[in-house]
Amino acid sequence: MAGELPPPIEARGILTQFGPNIIHENLDFEVKRGEIVGLVGGSGTGKSVLMNTLLGLKAPEGGEVRYFGKRRADLSEREAGLLRNEIGVLFQGGALFSSMTVRQNVMVPLIEHFDIPHELMRELCDMKIHMVGLPPESAILYPSDLSGGMRKRAGLARSLALDPQILFLDEPTAGLDPIGAHAFDQLILNLREAMDLTVLMITHDLDSLYAICDRVAVLVDKKIGVYDSLDVVAQYDHPWVQEYFSGPRARATMATPGMQKKNADKAAAAVRA
């Protein structure tokens, strides 16, 4: 379509390997603007390797990564720096600096990239802490004082410090109880709307996939085997996909009242279309 903006994230023909061990081969992948995309795959399929490749933490042995239509490899140092400001990352567990308070952790990107008065920086950090649902008093706490869910939210606040356009999430609900995981899912949905985010999320959490993902990409056989809406992905003819999406945990997820309503709404929308 004429005038259509390029996707925020695009990978073409990606080859990644460690010595003779090929992790990805001829892998194609893209995320559209404003999407929440779930990335799933069995152990050893290279989900984190793919994320690190997209982030530029690992150079691919072949193929190319593009952001907003520009090849990452062609960016100048200045352009690469500007791109980094547009990307937020929440690693597993939050990856907070243990010797810093929550506010100081959130300040780190601001100190690195901007020369602004300390009081203004403090206000910006406290705003981000509020945005992720943490109480004001958590700003002066250390990571060791926080629950697992609070640490994830603090890490999320830091990843949003520079108002990025793209957010990477690595197992954001891992280790959370069902109530905490549901609350985190809703937080991501709210932030997507409030900040116009594009989100790529590595997850094993079926509830999250069903609740918030627009599309799901499945890593199998060294590439993205299927990439579509969850309804289509769940029918993909591959042993791992069928076991993952048709197993007892998947059936339990589909049987919840909320998911039954969501599926009924989808069916009604399809009929109206």
- 53-72: pLDDT as tens digits: 999 999 999 999 999 999 99
Indicate the pLDDT class of residue 264, thresholds 50, 70 and 90. Answer: very low
CA distance 248 to 254: 10
CA distance 100 to 108: 10
* Cβ 121 vs Cβ 110: under 8 Å: yes
**Residue 33: how many CA atoms within 13 Å on its side-chain side?**
10
- 215-231: pLDDT as tens digits: 999 999 999 999 999 99
Q: Which of 47, 40, 41, 37 is nearest to 229 (CA)?
A: 37
At 94 the pLDDT is 74
At 113 the pLDDT is 84
At 253 the pLDDT is 54
Tell me the three state secondary structure of residue 179.
Answer: helix
**Domains of the chain by range and CATH?**
1-85+207-273 (3.40.50.300)
- Judged against a pLDDT cut of 70, whether residue 2 lies above it is answered with no
Tell me the three state secondary structure of residue 136.
Answer: helix
- 6-47: pLDDT as tens digits: 999 999 999 999 999 999 999 999 999 999 999 999 999 999
- DSSP states along 181-248: HHHHHHHHHHHHHHHT-EEEEE---HHHHHHH-SEEEEEETTEEEEEE-HHHHTT---HHHHHHHHSH
The pair of structure tokens assigned to 49 is 């390797």
- 163-214: pLDDT as tens digits: 999 999 999 999 899 999 999 999 999 999 999 999 999 998 999 999 999 9
Q: Is the pTM of this model over 0.85?
A: yes
Distances (CA, A) of 91 to 156, 158, 249: 9, 11, 25
- 77-105: pLDDT as tens digits: 999 989 999 999 998 877 899 999 999 99
Overall average pLDDT of the 249-271 stretch: 47
Tell me the three state secondary structure of residue 81.
Answer: helix
